[in-house]
A and B are shown apart, each in its own frame.
Chain A
Amino acid sequence: MSVQSPISSVNDFVVRFANVNGSGSASANELFARSILRHGVPVSPRNIFPSNIQGLPTWYEVRVTEADHLGARGGVDLMVAMNPQTWDKDVASIEPGGYLFYDSTKPMPTSKFRADINVIGVPLTAITNSTYTDPRQRQLFKNIIYLGALCALLDMDPKLVEQLIGEQYKGKEKLLSSNVHALHLGRDWALQNLKCPIGLRVKKSDKVGERIFIEGNSAAALGAVYGGATVCAWYPITPSSSVAEAFTSHCKKLRHDPETGKAKYAIVQGEDELASIGIVIGASWNGARAFTATSGPGISLMTEFIGLSYFAEIPAVIMNIQRAGPSTGMPTRTQQCDIIACAYASHGDTKHILLFPEDPAEAFEFAAQSFDLADRLQTMIFLMLDLDIGMNHRLCRPLKWDDARQYDRGKVMTAEMLDEPGRDFGRYLDVDGDGIPYRTYPGTHPTKGSFFTRGTSRDRYARYSEEGAVYADNMQRLVRKFETAQDMVPRPLQANAAKPTKYGVIYFGSTAPAMDEAIGLLEARGHQLDRLRIRAFPFHSSVASFIADHDFVYVVEQNRDGQLRQLIVNENGIDPVRLVPILHYDGTPITARFIANAIGDHQDHLKVTPLRKAVS
């Protein structure tokens, strides 16, 4: 052990596992996170992985946080360094007084350690090799053995871990017993050979409550099931593939006709993103609820169809799980960088609806709601997640559904309606003044209500027309429809500081948990901020009011160019000087420390006493 005073903390620390992709460590590391949850202590895990299958470095970080800070914190208190390739970087990332856990089978020169950290060596390879002969078993059980050692070091209850292993291998007794055996191998060795526990400890608590632990992509897919989606067409792309895979899995469990066993859904893996969105548009045109899931490069490919959806007014839902761009960018790193691309996707004048959920619970709700919105507004709806929400487990409130809720299919004219005396059906007539016309599904009526859908300009009766006035009339109605949407999409949520302040902060999506924590850090530095979490585009009028009510408003986002800020300036005519960009875009999730430092420094700068006052 080092002479440096070791970090001492109960239920508030960060553990990071450094592994090699393909080593089978993911399930052991996730088991560690779940085990702490079973102690009643909240966790916030993040999987940091490369865009390849095997061999490159991968990390899994578990923030143990009784205070419920679910954003990334930054820094590492305990590094489980299992990857020689990243050793130096991993050792460097440990907080002073933190702990380094490593495989001590082969001695390491002292130069490979730091003087200000605490080194814990466990001969993992030696223990594994003396127990197992099969190479794959050696690899897999080594992960469980280090998990066992951590149980001892962190004072975790092994019964809770055993219980989880039991759930994981229910009905597979051989796997269950061998995993439990490996767990105890590691734990027993640590108890016999190391000083246990260390300064970091897990103590049973009751802070998890009824909350659930789920990935955003899975929750969004479940939202699609509950929202009535019957057609899903998709093309694999990280980090969105697990949306479609989860939708498939949910549908297999929940959507089969009990009598015939037949599927009440259709899922097609398209040949590309163009086909996927084409299938979605065809299905939606024909009255089914349909969606696709993709990421930035997929959005690029879909933009022609997105323009068609906008102009021909066909409902559809795209779940965009954002990753770092441009181009292939960093496929397995998170960003919020498709805001502008989605808001104005396609050529010509377009505006699209965007929804920004903050966590899996909201991803579920917004996903379900997006189908109502798409039908109601007859347009494309973008559910804007990102990798940080989509592919990581989050602790969130339980998912809720009101059985009295009915699907809102929007303005669909039936055969009976078409037969009403005096009824004038025109596909693009603005009957109600809200910019939203009525549509009919194909096959509705033998002689009434049919129309020709096209991407070319047409009049209110869907008749091809290139008359300038007819085109302008249609484009104006689309603007009216977009304005109508403002009151239909989720409103921003405002939270005011404890004391009156001239400063505000705007943020959205996966930034929310880090922002919640950052507010506390800023208060500790003496900075008060009102905050507004934007949940949708078009922006509600309260966004402009919030900005008007404050001298400066920080706009926190995870992209280089301040895309949300651009959108606010563009759509609300705000003086850009009044919106201060706080930007994080290295592909890692934004942290409370980063936000607090960036805003705090700016605030400190604002408080500098002007020179002339100081002199006088």
Chain B
Amino acid sequence: MTYIAKPKFHHPGLPKNELGYTHRDYEGKISTLCAGCGHDSITASIIEACYELSIEPHRVAKISGIGCSSKTPDYFLGNSHGFNSVHGRMPSVLTGANLANRDLIYLGVSGDGDSASIGFGQFAHSIRRGVNMTYIVENNGVYGLTKGQFSATADRGSKSKKGVTNTDNAIDLVAIALQLGASFVARSFSGDKTQLVPLIAAAIRHKGASFIDVISPCIAFNNHAGSTKSFDYVREHNDAVNRLDVLTGRDPITVDYAPGTVQMVEQHDGTRLALRKIDADYDANDRLAAMTFLQKHAAKGQVVTGLLYVDPDSEDLHSHLDTVETPLNTLEAKDLCPGAGALEKINASLR
């Protein structure tokens, strides 16, 4: 974590988005993570996605737990409110924040220790409730801040930097998210910005629980031979099921995608996901197929990336609770307090 702000000056020729913001307006403080950390690449992708979507930075609430990944919200969207809560408890804090004001955009940033161990329950329940959020796990399979212990996402048989072999089975957060009813499930790789940026953009636009598991190698403690979360391993075993673009109803976002057929998926806010299919058998609207696909490839030692599942008809927690459209935090006494007259009637009923 740092308090070092980036210098304010920037090149006057920096390109601007629809709101007139440059990339610099989406940046935060200087990162104090290790040079080469995959998390910094994810930070850059979040910045890029928000820039491309022309999001007002201050309309985003960025919430995290504890750990290397959870530090990162300080490094993007400097004009947003951030909340570095307690270990593993980001999902509940985000849920509460979302209930208070449904109009903001909620980015939940977590790590594998945060979400797959101490916060596994909160991860699961926020997903099953359909909280409208983009839940990103920066997954390196290791506890970096405490110097190299295995996390619950470390694959069985993988080795730590000290040469210890992990004998526990791994928790696959993507598989769990699919099983729990997440309406947007994706996996990506911090080293594949081309894939990750539109995934984040699509997740932000999606109404409901969006989950992205991003393999993000820990340069200091989990980037060695024997690790299944290292840069080299993931590059060699990455099997991307699709590439996507997000059409906002304005100009398409210009990103370089692999050629292929296009499948349009309408989102609640009017934006459309354009899935460019590179795997002929893959259907991103079939939850059961996605679960099977994931398991089959995992058995082959492949890291499946891309948008694995999206429900175009998804709802969120506010829909389930049938809350008013007005953010609850803006309701005043006149909206909330039934008044003395109603209380008199209640008194009368209690005699």
Contacts and interface: CB of A to CB of B under 8 A. Distances in A.
B100 A290 contact: yes
A268 interface: yes
Nearest to B2: A464
A276 B82 CA distance: 20
A443 B81 contact: yes
B86 A304 contact: yes
Contact of B96 (A214, A283, A447): A283
A231 B325 contact: no
A90 to B, nearest CB: 31
Contact of B81 (A213, A279, A400, A442): A442
B57 interface: yes
Contact of B325 (A262, A266, A290): A262
Given A230-B328, A263-B322, A264-B324, A442 B340 contact: no
Nearest to B118: A274
Interface stretch (A57-65, A174-182, A253-261): A253-261
Nearest to A396: B350
A213 B57 CA distance: 52
B343 A272 contact: no
A401 B340 contact: yes
Contacts of A459: 3
B160 interface: no
A278 B337 contact: no
Report the contact-size class of chain A (Cβ under 8 Å from the partner): 35 or more
Given A268-B129, A443-B104, A450-B81, A254 B342 contact: yes
B345 to A, nearest CB: 10
A442 B80 contact: yes
A539 B318 CA distance: 41
B93 A285 contact: yes
B335 A266 contact: no
Contact of B99 (A254, A266, A450): A266
A265 B335 CA distance: 11
A513 B308 CA distance: 63
B97 A286 contact: yes
B79 A450 contact: yes
B328 A266 contact: yes
Interface string A238-270: 000000000000000011010011111111101
Contacts of B324: 257, 260, 262-264
A446 B98 CA distance: 19
Contacts of A287: 100-101, 329-330
Contacts, number: 233
Report the contact-size class of chain B (Cβ under 8 Å from the partner): 35 or more
Nearest to B88: A274
B247 interface: no
A525 interface: no
Contacts of B351: 37, 208, 210-213
Contacts of B125: 270-271, 275
A43 B129 CA distance: 45
A265 B58 contact: no
Contacts of A222: 346
B337 A226 contact: yes
Contacts of A451: 81-82
B92 interface: yes
Chain B binding surface SS class: helix
A407 interface: yes
B340 A402 contact: yes
B272 interface: no
B329 A288 contact: yes
Nearest to A215: B350
B51 to A, nearest CB: 15
B333 A407 contact: yes
A403 B333 CA distance: 9
Contacts of A214: 350
A225 interface: yes
B96 A278 contact: yes
Nearest to A406: B333
Contact of A283 (B2, B73, B100, B340): B100
B99 to A, nearest CB: 4
Contacts of B325: 260, 262
A282 interface: yes
A453 B331 contact: no
A519 interface: no
A286 B329 contact: yes
B96 A285 contact: yes
Given A279-B93, A399-B347, A262 B100 contact: no
A398 B345 CA distance: 11
Interface in A320-340: none
A228 interface: yes
B21 to A, nearest CB: 9
Contacts of A405: 333
A214 B337 CA distance: 20
Q: Tell me which of A400, A405, A443, A456 has the highest count of chain B C-beta atoms within 10 A of its own C-beta.
A: A443
A305 interface: yes
A346 B346 CA distance: 38
Given A231-B328, A281-B96, A285-B97, A455 B85 contact: yes
Interface in A534-552: none
Interface string B46-85: 0000000000111101010000000001100011111111
13 contacts: A230-B100, A262-B323, A275-B125, A279-B99, A282-B100, A283-B99, A441-B81, A442-B61, A443-B59, A443-B104, A446-B79, A451-B81, A465-B3
Interface of B: 1-3, 56-59, 61, 63, 73-74, 78-86, 89, 91-101, 103-104, 121-122, 124-125, 129, 317-318, 321-325, 328-333, 335-340, 342-344, 346-347, 350-351
Given A264-B336, A271-B125, A278-B89, 18 more contacts: A208-B351, A211-B351, A225-B336, A228-B336, A230-B100, A270-B92, A271-B124, A274-B92, A274-B122, A275-B91, A278-B86, A278-B122, A282-B85, A282-B96, A285-B97, A400-B340, A446-B57, A446-B58
Interface of A: 37, 208, 210-214, 222, 225-226, 228, 230-231, 233, 254-255, 257, 260-268, 270-272, 274-288, 290, 304-305, 308, 398-403, 405-407, 440-447, 450-456, 459, 463-465
